[in-house]
Chains A and B, each alone.
Chain A
Amino acid sequence: MRRASFLPRLTYGSATGMLVLAAIIAVPFADLSISAVHPGAEFRRLLAGILSPNFSAIELWSVVWTVAFAVLGIAAGGTAGLVLALFFDRSPLVRFVAASLRSVHELFWALFLMQITGLSSTTGILAIALPYAGIFAKVFAEIFEEADRSAEHVLPHRTAALSRFAFARFPVVAQQLKTYTLYRLECAMRSTLVLGFVGLPTIGFHLESYFKEAHYSEATALLLCFYVLIGTRRLWARASTLPLLVIASLFVLPETTGSGSTWNNVARFFGHDIIPVPLRSGSLGHGDTWTAFGSWAWRITVHQIGPGTIETLILAQIALIAAGAFALLLYPMVSRRFLGQIGHYLGRAMLVVVRSTPEYMLAYLLLQLMGPSMLPAIIALSLHNGAIIAYLLGRQTDQLVLRIDAPKGPNLYFYQTTPTLYGQFLAYMLYRWELILRESTIFGILGIKTLGYYVDAAISELRIDTAALLLVGVAVLSMSVDAFSRNLRRRLRIEALPVRLSADDGADSARVTGALTGPAHVQQPVV
């Protein structure tokens, strides 16, 4: 504990100060220029396009495939995640596998999988299923851990493990698992949309070409179609329709325009491509081989992982603080306490738009409009994450119990709601940090020189071994920031506060009843 005395004591104020300071230090190193020649004119064309959507541009099959990839990705990832979750607390290996799976973004998985399964359905489904399995494993494990186990305690001695699970553990949390899985389906549709930007035949594929050719009317129609799909999710995606959706999805998958036999590709990928160049030719018993390997790894670390990591951190840090500032500014607008019923409706509308607009697409669009620099990425990240945090804060504000003579307007904001919710605000920020970092990494594919830039370059030059090493760097960075954020949340004593957007499904999960621990007992939602 002596070491702690050298550090400034961690308070809400000092934690905020450090995060803001880091962002201020990062600003001079960030390229914030607008290089497009006529950004104003381009924006006007975008606005005109938004106001005149052209619905004939909607390609029905791309919509079907977007849903199909998402449904099958969720089905596979959810099943794998459930199995992993059962061993999560017992096995460090399972925890490591889950952490690795989710630390690599679905776009990177897609780029890698294309080397093996080409531009196929398998690539699309696995690119969702693999990272989502890692996420499901962690969240499901948390749900199981927090579940009421009293019914299990009463089971007869020597009841077999599977019976124990099927009768006394699974049914207790089934409702929560279902709610979370269906929420994730929404995220998976956003992910499949983004996979279209790298070539899979989803809505994103057409969006990308329309954006590139500045056909904004067509792009708007596609986006509106996607919003409707997400907005009506509760109508068509339910526990009862899920089996049907899975079977139907299997039947409508696009035909593979693959490259040769998958097995040959697997053999080539693991037997050659992914093995570091110096190890492919040299003899493994020879010292020189390992010296060459060492200098290969060192070169990549110094010239790619190092600069890529710094650029990623700079982008993430500025975006995080911008998102936070935006959220604090915006949350009164979506709160009933400040704007009454208008605030309530604004909040709902914002939630739908924010939930269904992928940051990657937003960044892509802004890059088209403003020219390549870090600025579009910062704007995309801070709009998306800021709006989510604002929505969550606004909802929390409406749930606060205030005294009858509570102040109004600015006084309410500065003296009551903001100080009361500041710990919660920091919890959201620190949780979002890792998500912003993940997105920052893949924005490299759009040309910003974060880690993803180097991964994308290596894959397009078929230097798969380099790409694999880079991904290890990506995973280490993402896990480190996650660990650091957890540590901060613990030291600020805000680790128990809710952070996930899916808690919004509280309307559903309030009806959740776990094992009964007494008459008229209502279990709190924990998702």
Chain B
Amino acid sequence: MAVAITLDKVSAGYNGAPVLHDITLSIDSGERVAIIGRSGAGKSTLLNTIYRRYREHAALIPQASALVANLSVFHNVFMGCLDRHSTFYNLRTLVWPPAAEIAAVTRVLEAVGLEEKLFVKAGELSGGQQQRTSVARAILNGRPIVLGDEPVSALDRVQGGDVLRVLSARHETKILAMHDIRLALEHCDRVVLLEGGRIILDEPSSHVSYERLLPHFEGELQ
């Protein structure tokens, strides 16, 4: 199912304080878009705005991993597909997971290299492991658009690259907020630069270079 995303002069904010101003953006099915910018530029707000409008077709990887600490990695990942099963089946899985679901979740965990933590409580994981659990949940969710808010910020560049490749393989459209410019250029075809809640650059990755973007991040570590 090909779903395109269109925002037409959208503004958004929190408690009356505007964060995004007149954002016009269209993303076609199959695109891999990096949203970059300083912290506070409005990246998360833009992702959340898209998620609210297209949640029917999108899986979200929020910035804070948003796991339930008391549940196992298995259950946290399984949450990605709660809508595909009956309530009874879901409750049953909570208490007594069926072998088929364990197998499905294990496959997804293998993709992010976390299969050995299957029945460990999410609260006992390290930050990077939590992030990979959150990614696995989005993969199992399987919706065509994946919205990732700094999905690999707690991983090193090699692990992060692996996870981004998996996301590209499993989801048709990929929209990621990122602060690592090199990783963004490497794994996305299009770069959208936000500054002060406005889009000030929107070009294919091949047209922009690390050096050209760097001045926009003055004062932030790259």
Taking Cβ atoms with an 8 Å cutoff, the residues of A that contact B are 150-151, 153-160, 162-164, 166-168, 171-172, 174-175, 513-521
B67 nearest CB neighbor, chain A only:
A516
A residues near B64, Cβ cutoff 8 Å: 150, 516-518, 521
Inter-subunit contact B71/A171 (CB<8 Å): yes
Minimum CB–CB distance for B81 against chain A, Å: 7
A157 nearest CB neighbor, chain B only:
B55
Inter-subunit contact A519/B126 (CB<8 Å): yes
> 5 A-B residue contacts at CB 8 Å?
A157-B55, A160-B90, A167-B75, A517-B65, A519-B127
Known: A159-B83, A175-B70, A516-B69. A167 touches B90 (CB 8 A): yes
Inter-subunit contact B130/A516 (CB<8 Å): yes
Please measure, in the bound complex, the distance between the C-alpha atom of A519 and the C-alpha atom of B68, giving whole angstroms.
12
CB interface residues, B 22-78, toward A, < 8 Å: 55-56, 59-60, 62, 64-71, 75-76, 78
Inter-subunit contact B154/A151 (CB<8 Å): no
Please measure, in the bound complex, the distance between the C-alpha atom of A387 and the C-alpha atom of B78, giving whole angstroms.
49
Known: A154-B137, A156-B59, A163-B90. A171 touches B82 (CB 8 A): no
Please measure, in the bound complex, the distance between the C-alpha atom of A175 and the C-alpha atom of B71, giving whole angstroms.
12
A residues near B126, Cβ cutoff 8 Å: 519
B residues near A175, Cβ cutoff 8 Å: 70
Taking Cβ atoms with an 8 Å cutoff, the residues of B that contact A are 55-56, 59-60, 62, 64-71, 75-76, 78-87, 90-91, 94, 122-123, 126-128, 130, 134, 137, 141, 143, 154
A511 nearest CB neighbor, chain B only:
B123
Q: Which of B69, B71, B143 contacts A167 (CB 8 A)?
A: B71
A residues near B134, Cβ cutoff 8 Å: 154
Q: Which of A167, A174, A518, A520 contacts B82 (CB 8 A)?
A: A167
Inter-subunit contact A156/B80 (CB<8 Å): yes
Q: Which of A151, A156, A166 has the most CB of B within 10 A?
A: A156
Minimum CB–CB distance for A478 against chain B, Å: 36
Known: A156-B59, A518-B127. A167 touches B66 (CB 8 A): no
B63 nearest CB neighbor, chain A only:
A518
Minimum CB–CB distance for B91 against chain A, Å: 6
Given contacts A150-B62, A154-B137, A163-B91, 9 further A-B contacts (CB under 8 A): A151-B67, A160-B86, A167-B68, A167-B75, A167-B82, A172-B70, A515-B69, A518-B64, A518-B65
Interface Cβ pair total, 8 Å cutoff: 102
Please measure, in the bound complex, the distance between the C-alpha atom of A517 and the C-alpha atom of B149, giving whole angstroms.
13
Minimum CB–CB distance for A172 against chain B, Å: 6
Q: Which of B87, B137, B143, B154 has the most CB of A within 10 A?
A: B87
Inter-subunit contact B66/A150 (CB<8 Å): yes
Inter-subunit contact B65/A516 (CB<8 Å): yes
Q: Closest 6 interchain pairs by CB?
A: A519-B127, A150-B66, A513-B69, A517-B64, A156-B83, A163-B90
Known: A163-B82, A519-B126, A520-B127. A154 touches B91 (CB 8 A): no
A residues near B60, Cβ cutoff 8 Å: 153-154
Inter-subunit contact B71/A157 (CB<8 Å): no
A residues near B83, Cβ cutoff 8 Å: 155-160
Q: Which of A151, A172, A174, A516 contacts B79 (CB 8 A)?
A: A151
A174 nearest CB neighbor, chain B only:
B70
Inter-subunit contact B87/A160 (CB<8 Å): yes
Please measure, in the bound complex, the distance between the C-alpha atom of A427 and the C-alpha atom of B67, giving whole angstroms.
35
Known: A167-B94, A517-B64. A156 touches B141 (CB 8 A): yes
Please measure, in the bound complex, the distance between the C-alpha atom of A175 and the C-alpha atom of B56, giving whole angstroms.
32
Known: A157-B56, A160-B87. A514 touches B82 (CB 8 A): no
Please measure, in the bound complex, the distance between the C-alpha atom of A513 and the C-alpha atom of B71, giving whole angstroms.
11
Known: A160-B87, A516-B122. A154 touches B66 (CB 8 A): yes
Inter-subunit contact B87/A162 (CB<8 Å): yes
Please measure, in the bound complex, the distance between the C-alpha atom of A48 and the C-alpha atom of B185, giving whole angstroms.
86
Inter-subunit contact A156/B143 (CB<8 Å): yes
A residues near B90, Cβ cutoff 8 Å: 160, 162-163, 166-167
A residues near B91, Cβ cutoff 8 Å: 162-163, 166
Known: A153-B62, A162-B87, A518-B65. A167 touches B79 (CB 8 A): yes
B residues near A520, Cβ cutoff 8 Å: 127
